[in-house]
Amino acid sequence: METPTYIALSRQTGMARDLNVVANNIANASTNGYRGENMMFQEYLARTGTLGLRDKISFTQDIGTFRNVKDGIRAATSTPVPACSISTPTARS
């Protein structure tokens, strides 16, 4: 493959992961107390060619996601909290 193809592919891969994070944020936006996530990108520089004729090539590299640390929005709901019942096994005679 040619180098421009690698550069475009690196950016497309990062954009696909970013789209997944955005879709997850949208899907959970109405969830009580949800904290959004964001992508972190950095530029990766590489040198190509022979010693006398080197070119710098800039790739996009996604290095991870980070979660918003602010408290999510909390709202009171009218749904009662279900009571938990603990059942213990009965002894058989």
pLDDT, one tens digit for every residue, the chain (93 residues)? 567 787 788 788 888 888 888 898 899 888 877 888 888 877 777 777 666 666 777 777 777 787 877 776 666 767 776 666 666 666 665
Residue 50 lies in a domain: yes
Residue 72 lies in a domain: no
Residue 43 lies in a domain: yes
* Number of domain units in the chain: 1
Among the listed residues 66, 54, 57, the one whose alpha carbon sits nearest the alpha carbon of residue 10: 57
Residue 15 lies in a domain: yes
Domain residues for the domain of 46 are 3-30+37-67
Residue 53 lies in a domain: yes
Residue 76 lies in a domain: no
